[in-house]
Amino acid sequence: MYHATLAQEQAKVTNWPGYIGWSVGLLIVIGLVYWLMRQGWNWRRTLQSGIPPLPAVPARAGRTLLETSGRYHGTTTAGNWLDRVVAHGLGTRSRADLTLGEDGLLVQRPGDVDFWIPAEHLTGARTDSGIAGKVVPSGLLVVTWTHEGSELDSGFRADHPDEHAAWVEAIAQLATRTKTKTEEAAQ
């Protein structure tokens, strides 16, 4: 009985100013970390402000080849899965509806900026496990494309990941067909 009473006495908080001080200090540290992360995001946006605007989003992507819904996980410079591109809204994760048409890839993001990748800018696609700090062991669809001389990777996760293989093949075929047409027109 004596030990239970002693434990109850020791468990009582008697140093309220100390606990409040530590709690306020912890909240200040959390706020500072959040502020520094926000400053880093804004700094990255400023560094990438020279990236030209993306092509205008058309109403349709031409004759539809594939459609899916899922998540957009971000865009990075090609080959560097941690170098996120934040300019023009490409850095924010969101829901996305993808439509691959004969004219290109239409990415519609409810509540965020839609974007368009013309067929002549598509260079390929692959499945991968991560992009822009997001790792998904069961796989992402990574679309590689060019914009004003820069090669970029955009990561998507379809609601049904078993669709990724069909997307990789369809994008590769579209990129090859478009490249062949461009080369024939140049001759």
Each residue's pLDDT tens digit in the chain (187 positions)? 556 666 666 666 677 788 889 999 999 999 999 999 888 877 877 777 778 888 888 887 788 999 999 999 999 888 888 888 888 888 889 999 999 999 999 999 998 889 999 999 999 999 998 887 788 887 899 999 999 888 999 999 999 999 999 999 999 999 988 877 777 777 6
Residue with tokens 């379809």: 158
The answer to whether the beta carbons of residues 87 and 42 sit under 8 Å apart is: no
The answer to whether the beta carbons of residues 107 and 117 sit under 8 Å apart is: yes
The answer to whether the beta carbons of residues 87 and 76 sit under 8 Å apart is: no
47 Cβ contact list (under 8 Å, min separation 6): none
**105 part of a folded domain:** yes
DSSP-assigned states of every residue in 144-180:
EEEETTEEEEEEEEESSGGGHHHHHHHHHHHHHHHHH
Structural domains counted in the chain = 1
**173 part of a folded domain:** yes
Local structure of residue 81 (DSSP, 8 states): T
**20 part of a folded domain:** no
**89 part of a folded domain:** yes
User: What are the two backbone dihedrals, phi and then psi, of residue 57, each rounded to the nearest 5 degrees?
Assistant: -80, 120
Could you give the CA distance from residue 171 to residue 62 in angstroms, rounded to a whole number?
A: 14
Q: Using a cut of 0.85, tell me whether the model's pTM lies above it.
A: no
Q: Which residues pair with 108 in a beta bridge?
A: 97
Expressed as residue numbers, the domain containing 97 is 64-186
**106 part of a folded domain:** yes
CATH number of the domain to which 118 belongs: 2.30.29.30
User: Is beta strand 104-108 parallel, antiparallel or unpaired with respect to 122-131?
Assistant: unpaired
**129 part of a folded domain:** yes
**10 part of a folded domain:** no
**44 part of a folded domain:** no
pLDDT of residue 180: 77
Distances (CA, A) of 46 to 87, 88, 115, 139: 8, 11, 20, 31
